[in-house]
Structure 1
Amino acid sequence: MNQIVDYELFEVPPRWLFLRVETADGTVGWGEPVVEGRSHTVRAAVEELMDNHLLGEPVNPIEDHWQTMYRGGFYRGGPVLMSAIAGIDQALWDIKGKSLGAPVYELLGGAARDSIRVYQWIGGDRPSEVAEEATQKVDAGFSALKMNATEELERVDNPATVEAAVDRLRKVREAVGDGVDIGVDFHGRVTKPMAKRLAKALEPYDPMFIEEPVLPEHNDALPDIAAHTTIPIATGERMYSRWDFKEVFEDGSVDVIQPDLSHAGGITEVKKIASMAEAYDVALAPHCPLGPIALASCVQVDACTPNALIQEQSLNIHYNETSDVLDYLEDPTVFEYDNGYVSVPDAPGLGIEINEEYVREQSEKTVNWHNPIWRHEDGSITEW
C-alpha cells in the first residue's frame, strides 16, 4: 500500500499555512491547515499529528486516520486541533484522488451540480463607499456580494449607529437592484440586543442572510433573534465539528451553515456536517477567506452536496494585500468565474496544481499576521 513518507509545512503570505504530504510512490498532496493569526500554534499541532499518527501509514484509510487524530487524544476539538486535522485531511484526499485518477467529489458520491455560485466581498473591516464597489463587482459578473454590517459596536449602541448600517445596505441595494443577493456579516461584533435591532432595521432591504449575528458561544440566543426577523440566519465559521452544529440544527434557528474546510475537520467532517444540515432543510455555504487549497477543498464538497447554496472566496479580499489566491497556482484558470459561477473541476484530487517553486520562494518571507485589536472609546476591548 502507498505509504506516507514525508511532509513539509510552509508559512506564506498573506496569512496562510500550506502542508505538503508525499507518499512512497512520489505522489504529493496539499492541505491548508491554519487558524488565521495562530499559524505557529497550528503548525506545532500538525507536526504532532503527522509524527505520531501518519508517517509510515498507508494513505487510503482516511476515515480511520480522521478518527485516530480526533479520538486518539483525550482532549478534543477546538480551532487549533480541528484546523490541523483539516489540513491533513485535505492533503490525504488530494493524494487519494490523484492515485485513483479522480476528483475528490467522485470519491464522495459524484457531482450533484456542474458549477457553484460564488460571492464577492465588498468594503473592508470598517465598511465604507460600498455602493460604488458593489456596482463594479456586479459589472464584473457577480450576482452575489457580502459586506460587513458595522464597525465595532457598544453593547447597547445609539440609533445613529444602527442607521449608519442601514444606510450602507440601502445604498448597495439601490445601486445593484433586486436581482443581486447581498449577504451582511455581523462578524460576531454585535451583542444580542443590538442583533435584534439591526435585523429589524435591515429587513426592508432583503439581505441574502445575516451572518454570525452573535458569537458562537451565544448560539443559545439565535432562536430569539430568529423570531424577530424573516432574514435567513447564517453561522458556523467558528464551529469546528458536527457536535458543535448539532444544537443549531435541533433548535431550528439557522438557515445557512458556514463551516470552514480548513477549520472544521476538513473534507471528511464538513461532508458529514452538510449531510446533517440537509436533513434539517439547512443550506451549506462554506466559509473561505483563505488560500487556493482551502477553496479547492470547498469546491469539491460543494460539487457533491445537494444543499450547497453558494461559496465564499477571497480573491481581492481586504486581507490579501501581499499575495492572492491565484498566485500560488500553476493554472489559475481553474477558478475562473463565469457569470458569478465557478465550474466544478475535473482534474484528479483537489483539482488544482500548486506552484511549488513559488510556495518555497514565498515561504522565505516573514509572515506574522494577527487580527487587529479594537477598543471602545473608554479603552475596553471589543470584538473585531
Structure 2
Amino acid sequence: MNPLIQSSAAGQVKITAIKAMELADHRTLIKIETDAGVDGYGECHGSGSFARAAIAALEGPRLPHLGLIGKDPLAIEVHFHNMFYAYPQRGRVTRVLSGVDIALWDLAGKLLGQPVSKLLGGNFRDEIKLYSHCGGGDMLDKAAWRDRVDKLTGDGRGFTAFKVDIHHVLGVPMQQYSPSISPEDARNVHRSYTLAREAFGDDIDIIVHCHNELDVPSAIRVAAAVEHIQPLYYEDPLAPAYSESWTALRRSTRLPLFTGENLELAEDALPFLQNQAVDALQPDLINSGGITGVKKMADLAALYRIPVCLHNVSGLILNMASQQFSAALFNCPLMECSARADQYQWATQNPIVIKDGKMKVSTAPGLGLDLDQDYLKAHRAEGEPWWGR
C-alpha cells in the first residue's frame, strides 16, 4: 500500500491550516493544508477577508474542540457536525464552511487515491447532462431571439436546456422584489417565452428562471403565461423558505416547480418534500452545506422520489465538485453549468470537457484538480494576500 494512503487510513495525517483567497473574478477559494504535504481545495461565497474571519472564528479559542486544525481530515462527518450543528452559524457563514467541507472531500480523495465520486459510493454515470443560461437583451423581438439562440446553440458545446430569466423580460434588476405582475407584464412574459420556444424549437428544454421575487398571485399569473411552452421547470418563483405559498402555487399550475439553491441544510428541504411542493430540488454545494450537507438533502429527496439537479454558477472548483457529486447520485437527471465552464484557466491538468451537452466525469483523485498556483497568484483580487498570508 502507498505509505501516504496507509498513514491517512490509520488517521495519522493531521490538518495544519485552513486558508482562503479571493481571485480577481471574486471567486473565493479554500485551501486545507496537512502535515503530509497534501492539500485539499474548496470554493466558497463571500470575500477573502470574510472567509478568513469565518474560519478564524471556527478555529478560535472559545470552542477549540470544534476546530479542524490538528484533526484527522478523513473525519468528515464529525467536522460537518461541528461546523454546522455544534457551531450553528447560518447565512454567509454557511457559504464559507460549505467550501471547507468541499475541500475536505478533495483532500480525502487525494489521500486515498480515489475520485470523490467513488468515495460517495461510485458512479451512476460517467458524464452529466447539463443545462446552461440564456443572456439578456431585447426579449420581445423575434430577430433578437433568433440571433441569441444561434449563438447559444452554435458554440460547439451542444447544450440541450437553457434558463431564460424573467427579470430580463420584466426589465428589472435580478432578485428585485416584483410583487405585482400587471396584465401588461404578463402579456410581455407570454410573448417573450413564446418567441423563445419558436427560436429554440421543440428539441431544446427551457427553464423559466426567477429569483424568488414574486408574490403568489404574480407567480400564478406568470405560470399561466408560460404554460403553453411546456417548460422543463419553473424555478424559484417564490421566497426560498418553505411556506404554504408553495402548495398554493402547486395547486394552481401544472408546471414542474423547482427550487433549492438557497436552502442551507437538509431540514430546510424536508417540508418541500413532505408536502410534495416541488418536482425537483436544486441545492448548491456552496450554499447548502457542501458535499456532506447536500448528500443528506439528496438522500431525503430520493426517499420521496424527487430528482436533484445541482445549482452551479461558480468557478472551476465548484464545477468539479458538482460533477463528482452528480455522478454518484442516482436521482440526478441533469446539472447546471455556466456556458464557459470549460474555459477556466485555474488548473494545469484535467480540464473540464463539455460535449453534446454533457460534462465528462473526472477519474483523477479528489475533485480532479491540479491548480496552477502561478496563475492563481497572478489573478488575485486587488490587495489580496497570497493564501491569506
**Which of residues 250, 258, 265 in structure 2 aligns to 1:226?**
250
Determine if contact 1:120/1:137 at 8 Å carries over to the other structure: no
Answering whether residue 189 of structure 2 is matched by residue 165 of structure 1, we say yes
* Structure 1 counterpart of 2:344, from 319, 322, 326: 326
C-alpha spacing 1:40/1:159, structure 2 compared with 1 (3 Å): farther
- 1:135 equivalenced with 2:159 (yes/no): no
Shift of the 219–361 alpha-carbon distance from structure 1 to 2, 3 Å rule, reads farther
Q: CA shift at 1:147, angstroms? A: 1.6
Report the secondary structure of 2:102's partner residue.
Answer: helix
Q: Does 1:13 align with 2:31?
A: no
Of stretches 142-151 and 93-102 in structure 1, the one that deviates more from structure 2 is 142-151
Q: Specify the alignment match of 1:65 in structure 2.
A: 79
Unaligned stretches of 5+ residues in structure 1: 318-323, 368-384
CA contact (8 A) 2:125 2:328 kept: yes
Mapping of 1:220-369 within 5 angstroms?
A: 220-316=244-340, 326-331=344-349, 334-365=351-382
Alignment deviations for residues 148-175 of structure 1 (CA, whole Å, 9 cap, x no partner): 0233364223222112222221112111
TM-score, with structure 2 as normaliser: 0.86
Q: CA deviation at 1:201?
A: 1.2
**Structure 2 counterpart of 1:228, one-letter code:** S
Q: Percent identity?
A: 29
Q: 2:97 aligns with which of 82, 85, 102?
A: 85
Matching of residues 13-52 of structure 1 within 5 Å? 13-35=24-46, 40-50=49-59, 52=64
TM-score (norm 1): 0.87
Q: Extract unaligned runs of 5+ from structure 2.
A: 1-11, 385-389
Change (3 A) 1:227 1:303: same
Tell me the equivalent position of 2:3.
none
Change (3 A) 1:306 1:167: same
The 1:156–1:66 alpha-carbon spacing in structure 2 relative to 1, beyond 3 Å, is same
1:101 aligned to 2:119?
Answer: no
Q: 1:125 to 1:278 in 2, by over 3 A?
A: farther
Q: Secondary structure at the match of 2:248?
A: helix
Cα shift readout 1:323-346 (whole Å, capped 9, x = no counterpart): x96122223x63221100001110
In structure 2, distance between residues paired with 1:250 and 1:227: 15
Alpha-carbon distance in 1 for matches of 2:333, 2:356: 16
User: Could you tell me how far 1:364 is from its partner in structure 2?
Assistant: 4.5
Change (3 A) 1:127 1:356: farther
How much has 1:40 moved relative to structure 2? 4.1
Give the alignment's Cα RMSD to 1 decimal: 2.1
What is the Cα deviation at residue 277 of structure 1? Answer: 0.6
User: Counterparts of 1:17 and 1:57 in 2: how far apart (Å)?
Assistant: 24
Q: Using the TM superposition, give the Cα deviation of residue 232 of structure 1 relative to its aligned residue in structure 2, in angstroms.
A: 0.7
Report how far residue 48 of structure 1 moved: 2.2
One-letter identity of the residue aligned with 2:53: A
1: CA distance, partners of 2:137 / 2:55: 30
* SS state at 1:19 partner: strand
